[in-house]
Chain A
Amino acid sequence: MSLAEPATLPVAASAAPRLHVVRRFSDRFKASLPAYLLLLPSLVFLALFTYGAMGRVFVDALYQRATPKAPVRFVGLDNISAVLADPYFTGAVVNNLVYAVGTAIPSIGLALLFALALARTSAVNSALRAALFLPVLIPMVAASALFLFIFLPNVGLLDYYIGRLLPVLPNWLGDSDIALYAIMVITIWKNAGYYMLFFLAGLQAVPEDVMEAAHLDGAGPFMRFRHIILPELKPTFLFVIVIATLNAVTQVDHVFVMTKGGPSNATNLVLFYIYQQAVEHYDIGKASAATLLTLAVLMGLTALSFRTMANREGGP
């Protein structure tokens, strides 16, 4: 049953008296009451922490304090323009765009490679899948603790083993030209195994007989990949791209642990900027304005993929 179908709406006769409509409405409400009671606990928490939070972001973005102790006053769109004029914010947006593209493409590419290589079930393959999946399970903070040492200048894992091959040892996290890319490595390491799962699931949908027919016609691995597998994986790609983009905006724990946005804001990302405004500068107005802008962009993006997601959930 599709939930989108309006559940047998009462067909109101065109000339029905007003009272009649009201009564029908109240009958309908009474019949729905048990369902509302069952939904109530969920709706209360959703109202407080999702819809209510949205509303509060809107309101908070319109107010500002002159000094930290002063009462809030209405400033209209001043917070929004202050955020847009803040070089730290625009810098964070640019960083975040680079970070999103630079993490999504490699991790999705690797995920596809892993899935294609490990699609068939065997003991070896499932051990390899488990190895690639391990980073997904661990907290970003734990991954950051490990990579702090990996990137440590001179004595760290990277410099100890491959640094010898380079003429000059780079300071991976300390150089503002490199730090963002170092941060991206962690994200790719952590997420590729997750996306691999979706491609593995997607590959199961590739029809066996079409593949066999392609073999018989002498199609090589590239031809099969290009003309059979890729078209079949299109919905998976869409879905994984959405998740990868959401992750690029919401995963900032490693920035906090490893660089705190530095050096010279080279690794500052939008959510970390929001955190700094709220917690370090106590500037709720600016933090809310930045949240609002981010939400608007994300909502626009997810609205595009809304249909894909609704389909996935078995909804309309």
Chain B
Amino acid sequence: MQFGIFSVGDVTPDPTTGRTPTEGERIRAVMRIAEKAEEVGLDVFATGEHHNPPFVPSSPTTMLGYLAGRTERLVMSTATTLITTNDPVKIAEDFAMLQHLAGGRADLMLGRGNTGPVYPWFGQDIRQGIPLAVENYALLHRLWREDVVDWEGRFRTPLQGFTATPRPLDGVPPFVWHGSIRSPEIAEQAAYYGDGFFANNIFWPKEHFQRLIGLYRRRYEHYGHGRADQAIVGLGGQVFMRRNSQDAVREFRPYFDNAPVYGGGPSLEDFSRETPLTVGSPEQVIERTLGFREYFGDYQRQLFLVDHAGLPLKTVLEQLDLLGEEVVPVLRREFAARRPAGVPDGPPSHEERKRALAQDGAHDDADKEGAK
């Protein structure tokens, strides 16, 4: 099972000091946090994509390309890449390039984006969100699998004899997750292609995500990719830890109360009860996270949000130390002990998918031989 972190990339004042980092400071901090994730033994770093202040990550593959060169094992990912407003041709090119630079340690999570004005800024219509996600991904899927593509759709200028370069590393397209917080259509899309489904469950109650993930699992099986319990599921999580849980609550409360996404709403206690937010000791985080499999089944990737709401870099790095030293080793052991045989322990790696591709090729050759 993969464990990692995902960053929104917000530039938020630290409510305890009133100081706001510069964009440059925040960008360097996010890079430091990602490198630290590898140092403490985490598997994945994923960045959001935003095109409006106070967020900085407008250019994810630039960030991830830099990180690919600075890391050895860490998987580069996104949370999410906007499949609605980015040109699918450019996504195909950018992520194939990243995949080469990262030696296969790259995947991506597609999402529609929920910032209304981004659609018109990029020449699209938010009311077409689902059709854009469906059509753009259908094109992206082909661009990575067919060397020469002729294509015509509703949203993008047609392509005749187009080849996206570079071709995916070893002919293996980057693994794709589809992220959604409410749309059954996106769970259906992930199931249809046999791709991963990431339920960013951090802001909503679990009952909703049980239905969404349940739908994805059933339809994954329906489309013949494997059993429902073998479908590739990713989940979000949100933690703040100190060894003593009272210390964690006391330290995190001003960040919670003032954060743009929480402030003025439910109390820290109520929000912790209704959503996966866990503010407490490493043991509490372990217990809460292990509980996810009771609701959603055995899953393959867990991403934690740790670097937002104006938390200082030093504090975030301390969170990563706790995750790496005390939380993730226990979670790896306990999830492995509970996982039934035949349920994948992570999304398929580049090497596994390369072998699968070679086997498929061998089958095809054998079929041709047989036909002769």
- Tell me whether A and B are bound partners: no
Question: Which residues of B does A touch, CB under 8 Å?
Answer: none
